Structure 1
């Protein structure tokens, strides 16, 4: 399912547009005091059970793995919204802590923002993901049957793990690509936008079946015609425009704050 050339050009022009005005219309998803409107899902413990106190609410932030000694073996999971959301502009801030843990101690610090979750809770869920990983913040990941159309730098089309095809708008020379189907499929973000020390700004615009990733105010990834094609019975993709949202917990100390949402522009 590839877009026509006019659709791809339109998508690329939208991807390069300035982000919408951020002065008003925002509603907090996280109230800064507790997880009202959210639930937790952790390995081994399942839903709404955190006996290891992986999640701490403090000073208006969500602090992951507070006080856990470096290299400790930990559980992973996410904090998900009770409701589904569609046609929205979502933003939040994150910053890294100093510690990371097994089973990912030898890897880069990692977390993420899941969205369009429509299946059962699992580690990890069927969804799209805004990757929050050192040097790869803004990567677009399609998990377990999720698909979308995008454009990539043709020089990266055949890249293999740990490298992946890299997003490039069509009007900058990007060529069509279908991201996703079975398993987990990755697409790198535009590397020209840097992750900052300290707090970073993450945004997702999900409008209809289109999704856009922004990092620190600049577009870094984009896809259109979001759909789900059941890997067990492929060939009948269903458009997907909404789902639950979740903050990923993946064996690195991290703070989230200012999790807000408003209607898509």
Structure 2
């Protein structure tokens, strides 16, 4: 009897282990849809305070009457699901600065999405190029950066600058670059490995290379690969930047930054996102 029980228990344990292995294997290289095309399930919204004429938008938090819309409070319908070109899309109107972020955190993944610029613009960017952004490894409280965004790394989404890097609220990386004549640094895979981000004397912005964004009004495909402390920005199939040693400094303490939420910025311009999906990876591709 004891032998029979032991055999049955062993079989159950064997089957459980096999099932577990199947589940673990299935999570790598299988796409998960982040936008269901119907509503904002799986996402949180966050909005700062509406812009007032003459206001220093980057210092809203210092205003005596500072009162952001905050978390999941969107009375102006800045975030919505619409149909564009016959397919569902996530619309970010741009009317108020802020972002829409995944409720879950992700690490070691390939993210893919499409974006297209709308026509509307809002102050204080009425005369500026259209701007948004793909933030990744988002952490800490909503609105930490300037009252609008999470601490994070940024893959820039901006007319003419899509694929650039920005370090947000303490985030830093190392990128191989060369100096351009306008004193900005531009990605060069054979360039010197330099430090960028908050606290760097070189600043927190690096220009992409090459420029592979399609004309305004056309859909663009963005791919973001991130594995451990390394990531790659890819625009319409071309690598525009490889980033290394992702880290963050908070209160003089620096630590690796390898995971977090994904956030899309609303920043003064109407933009549409669609076909947002993600899959886990166990290594970076050979670019």
Normalised by the size of structure 2, how large is the TM-score?
A: 0.74
Please give the secondary structure, in 1, of the residue aligned with 2:186.
coil
Q: 2:256 — aligned with what?
A: 239
Contact 2:138-2:260 at 8 Å conserved across structures: yes
What does 1:133-172 correspond to in 2, within 5 Å? 133-153=158-178, 155-156=179-180, 159-160=182-183, 164-170=184-190
Cα distance in 2 for partners of 1:113, 1:104 equals 18
- In the TM superposition, structure 1's runs of 4+ consecutive aligned residues that sit over 6 Å from their partners are none
Q: 1:129 — aligned with what?
A: 154
Cα distance in 1 for partners of 2:182, 2:259 equals 30
Structure with a larger share of its residues in helix: 2
Shift of 1:194: 3.6
Shift of 1:181: 2.4
What does 1:63-78 correspond to in 2, within 5 Å? 63-65=91-93, 74-78=95-99
Q: Which has the higher contact order (CA 8 A, sep 6+)?
A: 1
Count residues with an aligned counterpart.
Answer: 224
Please give the secondary structure, in 1, of the residue aligned with 2:214.
coil
Q: CA RMSD in A?
A: 1.8
Shift of 1:195: 2.7
Q: 2:77 — aligned with what?
A: 53
Q: Does residue 46 of structure 2 align to residue 41 of structure 1?
A: yes
**Any unmatched runs of 5+ in structure 2?**
1-28, 49-67
- Larger of the two Rg values belongs to structure: 2
Contact 2:140-2:151 at 8 Å conserved across structures: yes
Shift of 1:237: 1.9
Cα distance in 2 for partners of 1:263, 1:246 equals 18
Contact 1:40-1:48 at 8 Å conserved across structures: yes
Cα distance in 1 for partners of 2:120, 2:174 equals 37
Q: 1:116 — aligned with what?
A: 137
Contact 2:157-2:163 at 8 Å conserved across structures: yes
Cα distance in 1 for partners of 2:124, 2:160 equals 20
Cα distance in 1 for partners of 2:212, 2:270 equals 23
Cα distance in 2 for partners of 1:192, 1:126 equals 26
Shift of 1:110: 0.3
Normalised by the size of structure 1, how large is the TM-score?
A: 0.80
Q: 1:200 — aligned with what?
A: 220
Contact 1:143-1:182 at 8 Å conserved across structures: no
